[in-house]
Structure 1
């Protein structure tokens, strides 16, 4: 019994220590962000790495999510004679929830894991130590550009995911099933509120981007400098990012839509 309590206590202490280290690490990123933005090409390169290279999986996944939403939505709405509301259902589902959440999970799996691996391998090969010896801050040169690349990319990718999902819903509903095209778009336009639906979705995706990018760079920077340490850091990035996204989604949704 004593051993279990000791292990549990050690886990709690280690978790609190990690949270404190992550908070300090986040503060250092903000402090050194000015230096990283003076080398704008670094941030642009990370935007390409985190954003552009994630487009394929985001667009394809968004299309299939929209297709599935269209099929399921039509099957449900048909029971109540409300198939004209199919566009509303697809748009609200994507803009409020599925767009930011699924895009965030995909972003963490594709870009977050890659960033962790990249920084972790730089630590293994002692490139970060070499920068310190040359009076070059690895946080300003390596970490901050990757962090901001992820933060900026995430809302854009979530918006593209939602747009492609709406297109998929229109494709399956209007083109293949035969829902009225005018009703699909007009009811969507009437039901979607820019402030409560679109902007709240953008805010969610921004917060998810901050969480995923911070976890990715922190795990890479803090990993044990071995092959096994890097692999464990990548696993922690994906798992922690997924849990953070789902937890933040619940908290933000409870505040955003509780008055509706």
Structure 2
């Protein structure tokens, strides 16, 4: 029970720090103080280090869903709906959520571990002595990069998923690629894509904000660095899934059904 109270105390302290950082961002006090060179360095590091993992994940997930959904539609003699169902699923839910999960595991954990290591080795104090605000120097570039890269990764994931599904549908279920594409509705596809990108913008913001806040609030030694990293990943995933539920209800509950346009 005592350990539970300690963990809750640290969690709320870290959450309070994330709200403090959010307040400074909302007040627009960060734009003119961003280190452009550091921003580009983070952008290139995250993009080239994570893109291959995002694409591979999209490949395997699209394979699984094409197998499962295609098999059921074949048994119902409704294979012509395969393209619309799979594409809508990829764009609305699978690609944005899975991309956010991959980036959380790979990038968010790295952010927390890196900043937490700087905190416990007192490198943050050196920045303060040099009159460099650690939030402007460490947090804001990472936040901007995550917000910019999550939608980009999402687009790569969607394209990969659709291409793999088209290929497997033609090989396994003899569904012509032209019929797969014909089943898509341009207007619905565009709206879903916009909503999907909005989701990833929010997810990217949450990933950077929580991971950096948890890193800055780390105290103690190397063991606490690992605990902070684990806690940040779990917290980010919980926020992503809860936000996805909330955003999906707002965006898609009153949207047009894909079956009404076929």
- When the two structures are superposed, what TM-score results if normalisation uses the length of structure 1? 0.90
What root-mean-square deviation, in Å, do the aligned CA atoms of Structure 1 and Structure 2 show?
2.1
Separation (CA, whole Å) in 2 of partners of 1:161 and 1:223: 34
Q: Show the 5 A alignment for 1:128-207.
A: 128-189=124-185, 192-195=188-191, 197-207=192-202
2:167–2:177 contact (8 Å) kept in structure 1: no
CA apart distance, 1:13 = 6.5
- Aligned position for 1:234: 229
2:97–2:240 contact (8 Å) kept in structure 1: yes
**Residues 15 and 238 of structure 1, relative CA distance in 2, 3 Å threshold:** closer
Secondary structure of 2:131 counterpart = coil
- Aligned position for 2:260: none
Gaps of 5+ in 1: none
CA apart distance, 1:17 = 4.6
**Residues 131 and 13 of structure 1, relative CA distance in 2, 3 Å threshold:** closer
2:215–2:228 contact (8 Å) kept in structure 1: yes
1:116–1:219 contact (8 Å) kept in structure 2: yes
- When the two structures are superposed, what TM-score results if normalisation uses the length of structure 2? 0.89
2:14–2:214 contact (8 Å) kept in structure 1: no
Q: After superposition, what is the alpha-carbon deviation per residue over 1:64-95, rounded to whole angstroms, capped at 9, x for unaligned? A: 11111111111111122111211111110010
Secondary structure of 2:183 counterpart = helix
- Aligned position for 1:63: 59
Separation (CA, whole Å) in 2 of partners of 1:121 and 1:32: 26
Q: After superposition, what is the alpha-carbon deviation per residue over 1:129-187, rounded to whole angstroms, capped at 9, x for unaligned? A: 00100111111111211121111111111121111111111121113432122110111
Separation (CA, whole Å) in 1 of partners of 2:156 and 2:109: 21
